[in-house]
C-alpha cells in the first residue's frame, strides 16, 4: 500500500512539474508586463527618484525588502550563534 501511495504522489508531482514546464516562455523571450511601463512612466513623479530599480526595491516593495532583510539578519545571527566560541564558564 505504501509503494502505491508513493507512486501516486510521484505521478502527481511529475504531472505538476510537466504542466509548469509546458507553460514556460521560450528561453530569451522577454516577459511583457504593464507594471514595467507604469513604473518607468510614474517613478519620477510619485517617488522623486531617478533610478527606477531603487524606487521599486525601496519604495514600491518596501515591506518585501524589509522582510528579506529580516530573514538575512536572522540567518547571520543563527550562524554566529552556531559557530561562536564558548566561554570558560559554559564548558
For residue range 45-61, list pLDDT tens digits in order. 988 888 988 888 888 88
Length of the chain: 91
In a domain, 91, yes or no: no
In a domain, 61, yes or no: yes
Residue 72 exposure: Cα atoms within 13 Å on the Cβ side: 6
Instruction: Count how many domains the chain has.
Output: 1
CB 22 within 8 A of CB 1: no
Residue 43: which residues within 8 A CB-CB, separation 6 or more?
49, 52, 55, 56
pLDDT tens string 31-49: 777 888 888 888 899 888 8
25 lies in which domain range?
Answer: 2-85
In a domain, 9, yes or no: yes
**pTM exceeding 0.75:** no
Amino acid at each position: 500500500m505504501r509503494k502505491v501511495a508513493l507512486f501516486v504522489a510521484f505521478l502527481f508531482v511529475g504531472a505538476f512539474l510537466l504542466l509548469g514546464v509546458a507553460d514556460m516562455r521560450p528561453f530569451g523571450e522577454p516577459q511583457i508586463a504593464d507594471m514595467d511601463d507604469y513604473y518607468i512612466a510614474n517613478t519620477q513623479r510619485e517617488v522623486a527618484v531617478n533610478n527606477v530599480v531603487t524606487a521599486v526595491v525601496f519604495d514600491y516593495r518596501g515591506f518585501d525588502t524589509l522582510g528579506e532583510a529580516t530573514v538575512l539578519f536572522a540567518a547571520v545571527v543563527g550562524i554566529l550563534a552556531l559557530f561562536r566560541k564558548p566561554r570558560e564558564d559554559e564548558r
